[in-house]
Every structure is written in structure tokens, then in C-alpha cells.
Amino acid sequence: MITQVTHGIRVTVETNFQELYSDPSKMYYLFTYKIRIENTSDYDVQLLRRNWNIVDSISEKRDVEGAGVVGQQPVLRPNEIYEYESACNLKSEFGKMKGSYAFERLVDGEAFNVQIPEFRMTVPYRLN
């Protein structure tokens, strides 16, 4: 697991290779990632947007940007946690992702960005 805190928002990422849904003969490797977002600030905040930078070791860099996460724009009160799981496919056995979330502090409408720490996606048999 990898964790980073920005503006009182703690983001933790855990990844898993999905062997059953991958097909190396077709250069298709599927990874899931679980995100835990914890509001350690003193304010209610809302996650509005996300921006991902995805790097595949043999493919071009991809950028993914859009509203919310998995169809949600969650509001987190102080000490609340929001978790979700999503997936990313690669054409190779190695890759990495990083990004940011756009948040709004609800008390005054202040916008701020929260960093998503860079994490690696590697098929387990390549770690030996």
C-alpha cells in the first residue's frame, strides 16, 4: 500500500493483478486498484473530479479525466472515509499510475487538488 496526504486528505492505494481476466497472448493485463480516501481535515469536503496519468511500459501514456470517481462525487465530513475499487488494463506486464483529485471545501467553496500517489502495477511472476 502507498499513502500520501495533501491538504488533510489521506489517499491510500492498493493494487492487485487479475490473472483470470488477463490474456498475455493478446497483450492484455488487467489490474485492479483499491482507493481509500480519508478526510483528516477539520472541514466537510467534496470530491468533484479525478485526473489519472497512466504509463504502460510498452505503450503510450494515457490521461483520463472526468467527474467524480466510479460515478460518485462523495462528500466527506472530518474523519470520514470513502473507498472504491476500479481497474486499469495494460499491454505489458509493467506500468504505473498517478494523478489528482479536485476537491471543494464546502464551508467556503475553496477548491484544492489532492495528489494520488504514484503506484506500480506489475504481474507477480515478474517480481522474482
**Quick one: average pLDDT of 25-36?**
97
On the CB side of 79, how many CA atoms lie within 13 Å of its CA? 0
- Residue-wise pLDDT tens digits, 38-56: 999 999 999 999 999 999 9
Q: Which CATH class is domain 2-126?
A: mainly beta
User: Of 79, 74, 62, 120, nearest to 101 (Cα)?
Assistant: 74
- Decide if pLDDT at 26 tops 80: yes
Tell me what percent of the residues of the chain surpass a pLDDT of 90.
Answer: 93
Q: Cell numbers of 25, please? A: 497472448
Domain ranges of the chain: 2-126
Please state, as a whole number, how many other Cβ atoms lie within 10 Å of the Cβ of residue 99: 19
- pLDDT-wise least confident of 35-39, 78-82, 104-108, 122-126: 122-126
Rounded to 5°, the CA angle 80-98-7 comes to 40
Does 60 or 12 have the greater pLDDT score? 12
Q: Cell numbers of 51, please? A: 485526473
Residue identified by cell 481535515 is 41
CB 52 within 8 A of CB 97: yes
- Residue-wise pLDDT tens digits, 65-79: 999 999 999 999 999
